[in-house]
Structure 1
Amino acid sequence: MNIFKSLKRNKVAMVGFGILFLLVIIAIFGPYLYDGSPWKMVQRPFLPPFQDSKFPLGTDTLGRDVLAGLIHGARISLLVGLISTAIALLIGIPLGAYAGYYGGWVDEVLMRFTEIFQTVPSFALAVVLVAIFEPTVYSITGAIAIVSWPPVARLVRGEFLSLRSQEYVLAAKLNGQTNRNIILKEILPNSLSPIIVLASLMVASAILLESSLSFLGLGDPEIMSWGYMIGAAKTVLRQAWWLSFIPGVAIAVTVLSLNLLGEGLNEALNPKLSGNREN
């Protein structure tokens, strides 16, 4: 409850939360409330925005409704960001926890394994992975998850290294609790604050990465997403700038809202930052 109270006091974080909440509502209910198909040709191509009340955002290169694509694309873009982040957390948290808790050779092996993925830039590695497999929403989500988990592992490792010598952990060991219970019930709950903040920022990065892949032609051609809309319009930037601008604004607003929420969570979960803000 204290977290929610702190967020309510942070107006910037509440703005981010409100925008994100609205986007989630659009992603869930938008395709049902606005029944226009994003793939159906409904008007002449390159219809500018606000020229036809039936298609307020105009049409694309094939005469498809841009607003329908924007609404349907919200679901895919958010799902890619959320699912890839969830997978990255499922990989990074256990590896970082074991490395930080056990230390020694376990730490060395797991961290060297992590560094293998960090030697190649994330975007370049994602491009290679998607290019190797057929570009689908599944391969894109998997590629983003693979390049996203190393920072999670390093963050969790650092938290476990600092917490494993705390008195409550030593008391749990003296009580005969297993290492598994100590990791899951004693240390991990006390490490969640920075993980939650990082996860909110990772969703934003995943949405940007999906958009970048689609812009390069590595998006799923059968799934409507904001990244796909930008990628499909990249050859007509001069002729129809709005086709890239509109989904670009949607991505920018989503990323901004996630960053604002992440900043608010950081302040709410970090007592020192909250205290400084009040002073």
Structure 2
Amino acid sequence: MTIKNGFWRRFCRNKGAVIGLAVLVIATLVALIGPWLAPNDPWDMVERPFLSPMGGPGMLLGTDTLGRDILSGVIHGTRVSLLIGLVSTVVSLLIGVSLGAMSGYFGGWIDAALMRFTELFQAIPSFALAIVLVAVFEPSLGSIIAAISLVSWPPVARLVRGEFLTLRQRDFVAAALLAGQSTPRIILTQILPNAISPIIVMGSLMIASAILLESSLSFLGLGDPNAMSWGYMVGSARTVLLQAWWMAVFPGLAIVLTVLAFNLVGEGLNDGLNARADGRTK
């Protein structure tokens, strides 16, 4: 209980993190129940095109080039963006943590081989690789998640490797070896729990990066054609920015606020999980 209270005390000292958490709570609620509360289907042409915000009954954010409701698009896009960000981050963490743990724990030729494999992925610009992967396969939520996951795991592997290289020298690992614990048990129950804090912080920042990457792919026309996303909405507005600014501004604001919120929460998690923050703030 003391550890939990200490975490929340340190987290709440960061006012930006508290605001970011509030924004993410609202975004999560919109993703969960918003589609049922949206005034219209995001693909339906419900009004005349280029209707300005508040320019018609129920059209709070206006309409796009085809007369589709911008508000409904933003609401439905919340679910798509958060889903892609969360799932791709989880997959990236599973890959990165697994490879980094094996590399840092075993060392030697295993470490060298896994790090060369990691550097192979880092040598290719992540955005360019994601474009190629999505373009090779048919653009869909699955291919986008797979592409983002494959370009996002190398930093995680390097972080976890560094943590394991340090922690495997600790006395509690030597005690576990003397007690006859198996290697998987030592990794999962002894070392990984002590390395989890920086992984959690990195995971929160990776979600923000994944949302940005998905938005960039959708902006280029490589998003799922059957899923309304913020990137798709911004991309569809690029040719009419002067004529209908609201088509890009509102989904763009949704992207900025969500990404900023995840970054702020990441900073708060770093403070909350770092007990030394108490000493710095006294």
TM superposition score normalised by structure 1: 0.97
- 1:214 equivalent in structure 2: 218
Counterpart selection for 2:27 from 18, 23, 28: 23
Match of 1:80 in 2: 84
1:8 alignment counterpart: 12
Task: Mark the runs of 5 or more structure 1 residues left unpaired by the alignment.
Answer: none
Aligned-pair distance for 1:35? 4.6
Secondary structure (helix, strand or coil) at the match of 1:191 reads helix
CA contact (8 A) 1:73 1:225 kept: yes
Deviations 1:98-129 (A, max 9, x none): 00000000100111111110000111110111
Cα deviations by residue, 1:125-167 (Å, 9 ceiling, x for unpaired):
1011111111111111110000000011000000000100001
Distance 1:59 1:35 in 2: 13
Match of 2:229 in 1: 225
1:247 and 2:256 matched: no
Matched, 1:237 2:246: no
Checking the alignment, whether the CA contact within 8 Å between 1:268 and 1:274 is kept in structure 2 is no
Q: Deviations over 1:190-212 (max 9, x none)?
A: 00000000000000000000111
| 1:10 Cα deviation after fit | 2.4
Residue equivalent to 1:133: 137
Q: Say which SS state the counterpart of residue 51 (structure 1) adopts.
A: coil
Contact 2:51 2:62 in 1 (8 A): yes
CA positional deviation for 1:272 = 2.5
Alpha-carbon separation, structure 2, partners of 1:59 and 1:82: 29
- Residues matched between the structures, number: 278
Query: What are the equivalent positions in structure 2 for 1:153-164 lying under 5 Å apart?
Result: 153-164=157-168
Identify unmatched segments of 5+ residues in structure 2: none
Contact 2:127 2:213 in 1 (8 A): yes
Equivalent position amino acid for 2:112 in 1: E
Q: CA RMSD in A?
A: 1.0
Aligned counterpart for 1:263 among listed residues 249, 264, 267? 267
Aligned to 1:64: 68
Instruction: Give the 5 Å matches for 1:150-229.
Output: 150-229=154-233
- Structure 1 residue 217, shift from structure 2 partner: 1.2
> CA–CA distance in 1 between the matches of 2:97 and 2:145?
18
Q: How far is 1:84 from its partner?
A: 0.3
Paired residues of 2:10 and 2:277 also in contact (CA < 8 A)? no
C-alpha separation in 1, matches of 2:167 and 2:84: 33
> What's the offset of the Cα at 1:6?
2.1
Aligned-partner Cα distance in 1 for 2:39–2:91: 31
Residues 12 and 268, structure 2, Cα contact 8 Å, conserved in 1 = no
Give how far 1:5 is off. Answer: 2.9
Find the residue that maps to 1:235 and give its secondary structure: coil
Q: Does 1:120 align with 2:124?
A: yes
Amino acid at match of 2:149: A
CA contact (8 A) 2:219 2:232 kept: yes
Contact 1:84 1:142 in 2 (8 A): yes
Deviation at 1:52, TM superposition (A): 2.0
Rounded Cα–Cα distance in structure 1 between residues aligned with 2:38 and 2:47: 17
CA–CA separation in structure 2 for the residues paired with 1:85 and 1:96: 16
Question: Take 1:214 and 1:274, find their aligned partners in 2: how far apart are those partners?
Answer: 43
Read off the aligned partner of 2:208 and give its amino acid letter. Answer: A
Distance in 1 separating the partners of 2:269 and 2:258:
16
**In structure 1, distance between residues paired with 2:176 and 2:154:** 29
